[in-house]
Amino acid sequence: MNRIKMILDCDTGHDDAIALMIASKHPDIDLLGVTVVAGNQTLDKTLPNTLHVVQHLGLDVPVYGGMAKPIVKVQEVAEDVHGKSGLDGPVFEELRIKAQPEHAVNYLIRTLMESDGDITLVPVGPLTNIAMAILLEPRIVNKIRQIVLMGGAVGIGNTTPSAEFNIYVDPEAAHIVFSSGVKITMMPLDLTNTALADESVIERMRNIGNKAGKLFADIMSFTLHSQAVNGLSAGPVHDVTAVTYLVAPDLYETVDAYVQIDLSKGPSYGRTVCDIYGRSGLEKNATIGMKIRLKEFWDLVEDTLRRHI
C-alpha cells in the first residue's frame, strides 16, 4: 500500500506534540512537512516548541513557520491551558536546529501545486495558514486530496460556550476553508474530549521505556490538571484523533453535514453550526467524527510510539 502523504499544520501545544509523534512514525504515513501557526501561543513559541519535539526525537522532517496573527480577529492564545511557553512541562535541551527559510504558506502552495493531488492536510490549530494559502493561490483547492482537521464542536465550546479554540481564534480563516469545496473531515470537541490521557494511559506510555514514551508522559502529565475535562484528572489528546483517522478510519463513527462558521460578532462568533439533521437543505460540506473506539485508539498510539527512539 502507498503511504498517505500528509502535511501537519500545528500550533504546538501539548496534544499537537503527540500528533506530531504519531504522524512522524506511523508506517502508513509519509509526513512531508510540518507547518506551524500561532494558536496555543504566539508563533515565536509554537515554532520552537515544534522544533524541540523534532530535535528531541531526532525526526527527519522539515518545519516551516507560518502566520503569526489571525486574518481578522485580535489574537488570543491559550496560556491557561498550555502554559507560558505553550508546551509547559517537558524540559528540552537547547535548540540546535532551525526552521526552513521558506514561509509555511509558500511551502504549502509550492508543494501542493507540484503534487499529483495526493496530499492530505491535517490542520490541528487555527486555520490561518491553510486559509492564506487558499487566498493566495486558489488553484490549490483542486490539488488538496482532503483536509482532516481538529476543530469545532457539535455541542458546546471550550473557549466560549459556543466556540471551540481552533475555530474561535480565527473564524474568518475557518470560513474560508469550510466554504472552499475541499473535502473536509473534522474532529470536534464532542469526540476529542473522550480521548483522555489519564494516569493509567500516561504510565502505559512511559512504560514503553523509550524517549517518546517518556516525552508523552511528561507532556500529558502537565495537562492532567490544566485541561481536566468534567472534573476528571485527565487531559484530552484532541489533535491526535485527526492523525489516527487517516490510518484507521474504521475506529470512527461519522456523519456528513453542512457546517457553517458563525461570523456574526455576537455570543456565537466562531461556532461551527453543524446541520446534522439537514434542516438547511444546503449541500453537505463536511464529515464529522462523532465517536471513536478508544481501546484500539490507545493501542495504535502505543504501537506508534514504540517505533520512536
Interface with ligand BDR (CB under 6 A), residue from 7, 63, 81, 243: 81
Is residue 300 involved in binding ligand BDR (CB under 6 A)? Answer: no
Give min distance, CB of 197 to ligand BDR, in A. 13
Q: Is 170 a binder of ligand BDR (CB under 6 A)?
A: no
SS3 assignment, position 209: coil
Rounded to an integer, what distance in angstroms lies between the CA atom of residue 136 and that of residue 105? Answer: 9
Stretch of residues binding ligand BDR (CB under 6 A), selected from 63-71, 87-95, 157-165, 269-277: 157-165
> Pick from ligand BDR, Ca ion, none: which does 218 bind, CB < 5 to 8 A by kind?
none
* Among Ca ion, ligand BDR, none, partner that 47 touches (CB below 5 to 8 angstroms by kind): none
Q: CB 120 → Ca ion: shortest distance, Å? A: 17
Nearest Cα residue to 237 out of 17, 38, 56? 17
Residues near ligand BDR (CB under 6 A), total: 15
Q: What cell was used for 54?
A: 523534532
Residue 97, C-alpha cell as written in the block: 536546529
Interaction of residue 166 with ligand BDR, rule CB under 6 A = yes
Question: Contact 127/151 with Cβ under 8 angstroms?
Answer: yes
> By CB under 6 A, is residue 45 in contact with ligand BDR?
no
Q: Minimum distance from CB of 297 to ligand BDR (Å)?
A: 16
Q: Select from 13, 33, 48, 65 the one that contacts ligand BDR (CB under 6 A).
A: 13
**Residue in 243, 48, 69 with CA at minimum distance from that of residue 149:** 243
70 binds ligand BDR (CB under 6 A): no
CB of 78 to ligand BDR, least distance (A): 5
- Contacts of the segment 83-88: beta carbons below 8 A, 24+ positions apart: 83/222, 83/226, 84/41, 85/41, 85/45, 85/49, 86/11, 86/12, 86/13, 86/40, 86/41, 86/42, 86/45, 86/46, 86/49, 87/12, 87/13, 87/14, 87/17, 87/45, 87/49, 87/52, 87/219, 88/222
Rounded to the nearest 10 degrees, what angle do helices 294-305 and 199-206 cross at?
A: 30
11 is catalytic: yes
The nearest distance, CB 150 to ligand BDR, in angstroms, is 5
Vertex 182 angle, CA 178 and 185, to 5°: 70
With respect to ligand BDR, which residue has the nearer C-beta, 7 or 109?
A: 7
If binding is defined by CB under 6 A, does position 165 make contact with ligand BDR?
A: yes
Footprint on this chain of ligand BDR (rule: CB under 6 A): 13, 15-16, 40, 78, 81, 124-125, 150, 158, 164-166, 238-239
User: Could you give the residue numbers annotated as active site?
Assistant: 11
